[in-house]
């Protein structure tokens, strides 16, 4: 390193020791220089310092400029990210963007607590459309319009649900009451039918026994051929002989017996004054319609018409005439003939004519004339009662 020039001063303006100066502890004899020399020396020292500062300042200025640019870039990036986050947050919260399409930059938030608590001024129209305005008139501000609308819709939905539940409950109640009324009505109808059937059954045997004894008085049971004993052609095996011709005959018409049918009748009878007699032409039914009634449940059994005949445990499965005859077995003939003899009488036909009716329909089943292998039905008993019903109708 080159030795420093003599006469140079340090930054405190003091003259440096020259080479070969005495060590510390000894005071050298200093010579006083003239003021002009000191000033010159000082000027040169200051010039050197200024030159050094100028050189160092230039390099430092260059270094600070690149760092400032980097810092500015980082600050711009942070602001851009902050604006992007603010824009996304406003989109999530139902916010809006500026009209020009650019994202609205979030304002710089001061760290001052007073600035944070300061109310933000917003455009009332846009804020109200976004639902960011508190509902006026509520203490404490209340929720937004969107929240109020949601609460109102929720309340309306709940109210409609409650009304539907009330309607369903009311409708269910009416159904229950209607079902109870129907059951009560059916019970009353069945009870009346059972009572009437029992009354008729109670009066039937006495009348049939008296009529049977009177109809068969003086008759010879020996006239019935052996092969017809205790069959549908044997009047002594019938439960009722009222209004039956008990004179034995095995004559048939179309392979059907006419036993019990009388051979004489009156064709001049009529149901009422509005219809012609039996021996007169009825005419077209378009101008004179038939007015009649159906006698269901008599010769063809129906459980809902004659429930007393089907009064058994449901586990037995007795639901029609087939299962009833299966259950009764050999006793089916006695049970069914007792029903045939009492369910419909000649008074029934008189009541029909008195009501102004002129026709009667009598349903009967195929076992009235024929049965097949395995059939449990009572064979041809109902056929005899059908013939008697026709004779009653002709009267």
pLDDT tens readout for residues 265-292: 888 999 999 999 999 999 999 999 999 9
Average pLDDT, the chain: 76
144-186, pLDDT tens digit by residue? 545 567 777 778 888 888 888 887 787 788 888 888 888 888 8
The more confidently predicted of residues 337 and 185 is 337
- Could you say which DSSP state residue 3 is in? P
343-360, pLDDT tens digit by residue? 999 999 999 999 999 999
Handedness of CA 100, 102, 103, 107 (dihedral sign): negative
How confident is the model over 306-328, as a mean pLDDT? 95
At residue 126, the pLDDT reads 57
217-239, pLDDT tens digit by residue? 778 888 899 999 988 899 998 98
At residue 64, the pLDDT reads 55
How confident is the model over 58-84, as a mean pLDDT? 78
Separation of alpha carbons 266 and 264, rounded Å: 7
Tokens of 28: 């050298």
Which range, 48-52, 86-90, 103-107, has the best average confidence (pLDDT)? 86-90
Residue 142 has pLDDT above 70, yes or no: no
Instruction: Pick the range with the lowest mean pLDDT from 7-16, 165-174, 188-197.
Output: 7-16
The range of the structural domain enclosing residue 258 comes to 206-394
Residue 112 has pLDDT above 70, yes or no: no
Residue 373 has pLDDT above 80, yes or no: yes
Q: Partners of 256 in the beta sheet? A: 253
**2 occurs within a structural domain:** no
**332 occurs within a structural domain:** yes
At residue 198, the pLDDT reads 56
**186 occurs within a structural domain:** no
Separation of alpha carbons 82 and 76, rounded Å: 10
Overall domain count for the chain: 1
**301 occurs within a structural domain:** yes
Residue 128 has pLDDT above 80, yes or no: no
Which range, 139-143, 164-168, 199-203, 391-395, has the best average confidence (pLDDT)? 391-395
The more confidently predicted of residues 97 and 230 is 230
**120 occurs within a structural domain:** no
Q: Structure pTM? A: 0.47
| CA nearest neighbour of 268 among 258, 259, 278, 276 | 278
At residue 202, the pLDDT reads 45
Separation of alpha carbons 232 and 41, rounded Å: 170
At residue 363, the pLDDT reads 96
Beta strands 252-253 and 292-294, pairing class: unpaired
**153 occurs within a structural domain:** no
Tokens of 181: 């009324």
Maximum Cα interatomic distance, the chain, rounded to a whole number of Å: 197
pLDDT above 90 as % of the chain: 37
| CA nearest neighbour of 260 among 246, 250, 274 | 246
Residue 3 has pLDDT above 60, yes or no: no
**155 occurs within a structural domain:** no
Residues 6 or more apart whose CB falls under 8 angstroms from that of 261 comprise 245, 387, 388, 391
Burial tier of 344 (Cβ tally within 10 Å: 0-12, 13-18, 19+):
buried
**112 occurs within a structural domain:** no
At residue 324, the pLDDT reads 96
């Amino acid at each position: 390193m080159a030795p420093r020039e003599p006469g140079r001063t340090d930054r405190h303006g003091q003259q440096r020791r020259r080479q070969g100066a005495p060590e510390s502890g000894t005071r050298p004899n200093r010579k006083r220089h003239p003021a002009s020399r000191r000033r010159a020396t000082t000027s040169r020292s200051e010039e050197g310092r200024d030159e050094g500062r100028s050189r160092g300042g230039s390099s430092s200025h260059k270094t600070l400029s690149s760092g400032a640019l980097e810092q500015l870039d980082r600050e711009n990036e942070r602001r851009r990210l902050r604006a992007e986050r603010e824009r996304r947050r406003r989109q999530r919260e139902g916010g809006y963007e500026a009209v020009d399409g650019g994202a609205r930059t979030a304002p710089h938030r001061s760290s001052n607590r007073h600035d944070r608590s300061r109310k933000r001024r917003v455009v009332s129209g846009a804020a109200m459309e976004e639902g960011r305005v508190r509902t006026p008139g509520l203490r404490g501000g209340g929720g937004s319009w969107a929240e109020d609308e949601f609460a109102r819709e929720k309340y309306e939905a709940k109210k409609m649900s409650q009304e539907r539940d009330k309607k369903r409950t009311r409708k269910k109640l009416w159904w229950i009451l209607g079902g109870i009324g129907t059951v009560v009505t059916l019970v009353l109808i069945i009870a009346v039918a059972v009572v009437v059937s029992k009354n008729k059954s109670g009066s039937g045997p006495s009348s049939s026994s008296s009529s049977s004894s009177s109809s068969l008085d003086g008759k010879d049971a020996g006239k019935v051929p052996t092969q017809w004993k205790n069959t549908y052609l044997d009047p002594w095996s019938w439960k009722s002989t009222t209004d039956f011709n008990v004179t034995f005959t095995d004559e048939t018409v179309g392979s059907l017996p006419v036993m019990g049918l009388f051979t004489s009748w009156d064709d001049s009878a009529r149901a009422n004054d509005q219809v012609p007699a039996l021996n007169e032409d009825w005419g077209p039914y378009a101008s004179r319609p038939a007015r009649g009634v159906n006698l269901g449940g008599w010769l063809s059994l129906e459980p809902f018409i004659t429930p007393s005949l089907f009064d058994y445990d449901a586990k037995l499965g007795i639901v029609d005439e087939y299962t009833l005859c299966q259950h009764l077995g050999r006793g089916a003939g006695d049970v069914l003939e007792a029903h045939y003899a009492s369910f419909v009488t000649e008074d029934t036909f008189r009541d029909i004519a008195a009501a102004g009716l002129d026709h009667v329909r009598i349903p009967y089943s195929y076992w009235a004339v024929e049965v097949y292998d395995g059939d449990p039905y009572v064979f041809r008993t109902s056929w005899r009662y059908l013939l008697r019903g026709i004779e009653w109708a002709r009267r």
